[in-house]
Structure 1
Amino acid sequence: MTNPLDLPFDTDEMLAGLKPWIETESPTFDAAAVNRMMDLVQHELAALGARVERIPGRLGLGDSVRATMPHPRAGEGGILLLGHMDTVHPIGTLEKLPFRVEGDVCYGPGLMDMKGGNYVYLDALRKLLAAGVETPLPVTVLFTPDEEIGTPSTRELIEAEARRHRFVLVPEPARPDGGAVIGRYAIARFNLQTRGKPSHAGWQLSEGRSAIAAMARKVAEIEGMTTDDCTFSVGVFRAGQWVNCVSSVCDAEVLTMAKTQDLLDEGVARMMALNSDAGEVVMEVRRGVTRPVWEPDQPGTMAMLALAQEIAGEIGFEITGASAGGGSDGNFTGALGIPTLDSIGVCGKDLHTLNEHILLDSLVERAKLAAALYCRLGA
């Protein structure tokens, strides 16, 4: 049998394959754009001989792609490769952050989070198939469209698919030290709205009750609740259309991260307690999507980490394992108790910014890791 660490992975070849992925911009809220990305990956999976299904999107979001890779026991539960194809970068970001290589770094929107990892783990399957290597377990690939907004439309799909499998691989970007994630903190989202009373800001300012001013005061209060173990962040603030009008409606969105379920429950209670219809400005708080705590140190996941560490040692690098914030679809599979290894994708920096980039050396390194994991899990 071919040693998966000897497969002919090539950085330039992977960069050529990644370029159209990155240049197919796919922000979550643009379903048509996400679906163009799904078209691209669906074609590549079909070219590998996979049985590919297109699962229609819902809630106004994009489609998902599920592929059953060629295998004598194809369709049986084995290894699930789980990734998202949506990004936080709006259409047009390529003008400011073009796909480009500079020295030992490659830049591009969504390259680190998480198209780079998805591509690398798919390339490992491509090389294994080309070499005629049969993995011990069949592999299923599931790419989804909505992770960046908390996975509101595909959580049930992910959980149902994961339950059929023995192992889940999530090639989200590696932690800053190159390590994997073996547990994740809980995440909750909230939608806030203040409603006041409109008036002409120049003529009858005193008659109005500003929803913007009320929300601004709440922003300071909410972010002031942050501790090391439970954080509160206001990431969206929308209001106003005319500067000469006292705004009667203001909307905001809040993200809460907590290290334990008890802390999350406390954080949720504090946020919901902000609901108020007393006074002249109403504050409404609605709870949005939630990612459950994925408790670390589960035996199945720790065994996966030990295997990854053994493989990494053979390749020539180290992988640590730790619980982390940030949230991913690994929260769902890990919380179900399914052995899950997360953040085993490419190494890089500045995800979600106009400086998002990966380290070129991590492409071949992580492809070898992926190929060996496919070949040794379940062996």
Structure 2
Amino acid sequence: MHTHDLPFDVDEMLAGLKTWIECESPSLDPAAVDRMMDLAAFDLAAAGATVERIPGRAGYGGSVRARFPHRDFGKPGILIAGHMDTVHPLGTLEVLPFRREGELCYGPGIMDMKGGNYVSLEALRQLLRAGLETPLPVTVLFTPDEELGTPSTRALIENEARKHRYVLVPEPAHPGGAATIGRYAIARFDLASKGRPSHAGARLSEGRSAIAVMARKILEIEAMSTDDCTFSVGVVHGGQWANCVASACRGEALSMAKTQQDLDRGVARMMALADDDFSIVRGVTRPVWEPNQPGTMAMFELAKEIAAELGFELSGQSSPGGSDGNFTGALGIPTLDSLGVRGNGLHTLNEHIEVSSLVERARLMAALLMRLE
């Protein structure tokens, strides 16, 4: 049987995916992420894989590593790497329930990236059912903290990737269905300002607001953005009472750059903003994954061929967004990213996928697994 003839069933895939989407798994809730990992572990085991549950650390959820049966079991092969955490807090299902509306299907994390993860599992399941053995052994690694910059599992991902010839990352496809062949560098920063408390009504002039300090710094930070290196502040928490001048405020910022040199210059500019009332601590970093590496481009050419056979054009681009592909690509391991589903609204309450892309991407993944050697 040819992989293009595998009997992928969109209704079956949606039914299975529904279970995953309705198991909410925000990054900052390790118990919720672990519930999702348990679901994935069961489905991987039921598909025939040898499954390990790897405990979480540093307050994050655990991971799942699944290795599929193969005559060369344990030898270097293909790693499928994905994250199961989402940006959506528990309770998002109440406002963004799993639902299909015509050719679109909605739900928290369905695009980023449970849809792509599920498609990868389905591709492996159908290959096994059809008795088709991939030329190389396949390992799946699902991790719990990508949306936070992968603070706890970077070493796990890198060490696993080093054992393999190829890495496939089913993050969502770009608009138009494009794959990712390189990614920009990303750095995170923890910000903290301090003030002098006083009664905000009776003794306002005696105080100095940490919130005001932070607000002025935010304007400075965001004004540093250029086409080559951007800065944004995405989290701010400050003060406790409206009638107290705030003595503390904290925030989180993110910088994204096209090259490592741009990022290094940006980091230096950011750190120079620190003073007696404002501290900056460098957080996790995603290294630049330089585009056009020979191994990655060979994989991309193969994926383009397969896409043409399936009736669509696959383009490739370097991406401003970060993913765990940054780590494997930066190590020089051939990596092809954004192989997951098409959709829109990721990280919003309009997150949805194009239903037709489930089968399209499953066929693409299955064919890649059968032709990489």
- TM-score if structure 1 supplies the norm length? 0.98
1:316 correspondence with 2:315: no
Q: Which of 313, 322, 328 is the equivalent residue of 1:327?
A: 322
- One-letter identity of the residue aligned with 1:373: L
Partner of 2:31: 32
Secondary structure at the counterpart of residue 176 of structure 2: coil
Using the TM superposition, give the Cα deviation of residue 275 of structure 1 relative to its aligned residue in structure 2, in angstroms.
Answer: 1.2
CA deviation vs aligned residue, 1:139-173 (integer Å, no higher than 9, x gap)? 00000000000000000000000000000000000
1:375 correspondence with 2:363: no
- One-letter identity of the residue aligned with 1:12: D
Distance in structure 2 (CA, Å) of the matches to 1:68 and 1:364: 23
Partner of 1:341: 336
1:287 correspondence with 2:286: no
- One-letter identity of the residue aligned with 1:140: T
CA deviation vs aligned residue, 1:250-292 (integer Å, no higher than 9, x gap)? 0010000000001000110011111111xxxx10000000000
Using the TM superposition, give the Cα deviation of residue 74 of structure 1 relative to its aligned residue in structure 2, in angstroms.
Answer: 1.4
Distance in structure 2 (CA, Å) of the matches to 1:17 and 1:82: 19
Distance in structure 2 (CA, Å) of the matches to 1:101 and 1:73: 41
Using the TM superposition, give the Cα deviation of residue 75 of structure 1 relative to its aligned residue in structure 2, in angstroms.
Answer: 1.5
Distance in structure 2 (CA, Å) of the matches to 1:6 and 1:374: 15
- CA RMSD after TM alignment: 0.5
1:42 correspondence with 2:41: yes
Partner of 1:52: 51
Partner of 1:18: 17
Using the TM superposition, give the Cα deviation of residue 367 of structure 1 relative to its aligned residue in structure 2, in angstroms.
Answer: 0.3
- TM-score if structure 2 supplies the norm length? 0.99
Secondary structure at the counterpart of residue 199 of structure 1: coil
What is the 5 A alignment of 1:108-119? 108-119=107-118
Partner of 1:364: 359
Using the TM superposition, give the Cα deviation of residue 115 of structure 1 relative to its aligned residue in structure 2, in angstroms.
Answer: 0.1
Distance in structure 2 (CA, Å) of the matches to 1:155 and 1:143: 12
Partner of 1:217: 216
CA deviation vs aligned residue, 1:36-82 (integer Å, no higher than 9, x gap)? 00000001111122111111101100000001111111111100000
Say which is worse superposed, 369-378 or 68-77, in terms of deviation. Answer: 68-77
Partner of 2:293: 298
Q: What is the identity percentage for the equivalent residue pairs of Structure 1 and Structure 2? A: 72
Distance in structure 1 (CA, Å) of the matches to 2:240 and 2:21: 35
Structure 2: 5+ residue stretches without partners: none
Partner of 1:258: 257
Secondary structure at the counterpart of residue 200 of structure 1: coil
Partner of 1:144: 143
Structure 1: 5+ residue stretches without partners: none
Distance in structure 1 (CA, Å) of the matches to 2:105 and 2:316: 25
Partner of 2:128: 129
Distance in structure 1 (CA, Å) of the matches to 2:210 and 2:324: 35
Secondary structure at the counterpart of residue 364 of structure 1: helix
How many equivalent residue pairs?
A: 373
Distance in structure 1 (CA, Å) of the matches to 2:182 and 2:361: 20
Secondary structure at the counterpart of residue 177 of structure 1: helix
Using the TM superposition, give the Cα deviation of residue 86 of structure 1 relative to its aligned residue in structure 2, in angstroms.
Answer: 0.1
Distance in structure 2 (CA, Å) of the matches to 1:361 and 1:317: 12
CA deviation vs aligned residue, 1:211-259 (integer Å, no higher than 9, x gap)? 0001001111110111111100000000111000000000010000000
CA deviation vs aligned residue, 1:188-215 (integer Å, no higher than 9, x gap)? 0000000111110001101101000010
Distance in structure 2 (CA, Å) of the matches to 1:49 and 1:298: 34
